[in-house]
Each structure stands twice: as C-alpha cells, then as structure tokens.
Amino acid sequence: MDSIHLILLRIFRPILDVTCAVACTAYENMGCNCTKEKLVLNSRRFYVQKRLGEGGFSVVDLVEEGPTGKLFACKRIMCHSKSDEKVALEELEYYRRFAHPNLIMLEESGMIPRGDICEVLLVLPFYRRGMLQEALDKLKENGQHYSQTQLLRLFKGICDGVRELHNAKPTAIAHRDIKPHNVMLADDDSPVLMDFGSMAPARLEVVGRSEAIALQDTAGEKCSMLFRAPELFHVESHCVINEKIDIWSLGCTLFNMAYLYSPFEPIYMKGDSIHLAVIGRNFKFPETSEYAPVVNDLISSMLVVEPMERPTIEWVLDQVNNMTAEMENRV
C-alpha cells in the first residue's frame, strides 16, 4: 500500500468506524433482525428470537413476524426419514382440522428441505402467560390454591376443548397427553389445550401382540406417565382403545389443579411402580381440602381403572356445569 493510501486510511477510518457504530445502534433501536435466523413461510417472514423449549422430537422457538413485530411460537420438527415426515404432517393436519377457542390454532406452516432431511414448521400463537403448570407451580410456591370457582372455570374450558376432539367428524380424536404442561393460558385466563403430536383416532382395535407392543411403545414415548391411562401401560393383545384414555388424564389433571401435584406423584417420588399404582388405583386425597366433596367425587369418577366404567366427556361437563350453577345459586 503506497503512502497516499495510508494517509487516506488514517483520515477516513475513524469516520467509517463512527458511521458503522451509529448505523448498528440505529438498527438495534429499530429492532433490526439482520443477524437473526429468518424463516419464510408462504411469503411471510419470521425471525427467530430465542429458544423457548426442547422436546424429544421437536424444539419451539419464539419468532417475530416482520414487519408487524407480532410474536409467535414456532414448533420445529426435524424429520430424518419419510416415516418422521409422515408423523409430522399428520400432526399438522390435526392443527388444521380444529378451530376452537380452547384448542390451540395454527397460524402458519411450511416445510424446509435441509439436505437429506427436512424440517416441518408450525407457527402457533405465543401465550405470554405461559403454561397452566407454571401457574400451578407459582401457587404452590406461594402456599395458595385456586378457588373452587377458578378451578371449575379452568377445568370446564379444558373439557370444552376435549369435547371438540371427541365429537370430531367423521372420526373421533383422542389427545392422549392431557396434562397441565399441555395447557396454555390466554390473556383472558382461558385454558388452551396444545401439543397435538400425541393425537390419534380415538377408537383403535388392537389385534395381536405386535400391535399391542407397538401401541404400548408409542404410549411410552408420547403419553406422560403420571397422567397415562391404565390400559396404555400394558396393552392387551386383543382390545379396543378409545377416548376414555382422555377421561383418565382429565381426572389426573383436575386432581393436579386442585392439590398442586399429580395423584400418583407421591408413588413416583418414592421410586415405586407407577404402573402398579395406576392399575391398583393407589392414590389418596389430602386429608383436608378447601373444596366441596363433589370435587373429589368428580375426580374419583374419572379415575376408574375399567375404561367402560369411566364417564363420557359430556357427562363430565354436565357435572361441572351443575356444580357451578349450585355455587352461583348459593351466592
């Protein structure tokens, strides 16, 4: 480099440095997404802000849409095979199938090829209030509980979403993994059932040991143990699995919402067999409760080992509505 170039560089380098610094600061103040990963789905641009969570089969990122600045949660499912892709697309179809205030709704979707694999993207609403489980954890930390009115209102919303699934046409759908972790809280505090990755046709006839083992393995992967119905722990070689598995999970969920732990959590914490506890219906209500006895009666009616003896979602909702009406009449 000759002397004149060196002189020019000494003169203009400080100016360039300041100009770059000012430009970068301006971009940051404007919320610039230049350095963030960009996802383009059907001409809509989403910029990844941060990782919200990771599961066994997917991750969830917080994304911001440009130029609106609206925040969403993007579920990203990496598919390493055609079978993985088929499962992801089946989940996508479940999101597309339902539009109900108590079921999470799909905002946008797409598929991005990445070499020999692909990524299925599901853009979903972002709930600032977070999961129902987080609200329960906060209550526990503060030594509080939901009032019976709050408890029944939240539970009714969850049941309304489940009824939409169980009454789906032409085929009833079971969620198969209902639990407080899979319920989001909207800004108006209404519950929204999420995570459709465990969904399947509600009624399934199992014929033969190989089918039974396959369903049992799937349940082990996708259905949380503390909320899993007895018939999914050991699937019989010849049986029919139906939507009553969700009723069991609803019983565990209502218990968890009322008493801030799963009915079988004490067994789990001791390291004893959850399977034996579930089929033996080995759980206990707290000795003292601020709720009316009918709340425990409702939980007990759902936590019945024999599926045929469990109530339907319609019956459960009738009981919740009757309990709510009785409380209102007292006031």
Q: Annotated catalytic residue: which of 61, 160, 177, 195? A: 177
- Which residues are paired to 173 by β-bridges? 201
Say if strands 238-241 and 38-41 run parallel, antiparallel, or are unpaired. Answer: unpaired
Partner residues linked to 76 by β-bridges: 59, 121
Task: Say how far apart CA 290 and CA 296 lie, in whole Å.
Answer: 11
Dihedral angle computed from the Cα positions of residues 124, 128, 131 and 133, in that order, rounded to the nearest 10 degrees? 170
Whose tokens are 């440009």? That residue is: 66
Known active-site residue 177: yes
Could you count the other beta carbons within 10 Å of the beta carbon of residue 259? 19
Short-list 82, 60, 81, CA closest to 71: 60
Q: Tell me how far apart the alpha carbons of residues 70 and 63 are, in angstroms, rounded to a whole number.
A: 8
DSSP 3-state assignment of 134?
A: helix
CA distance 262 to 299: 12
Q: Which residues carry out catalysis?
A: 177
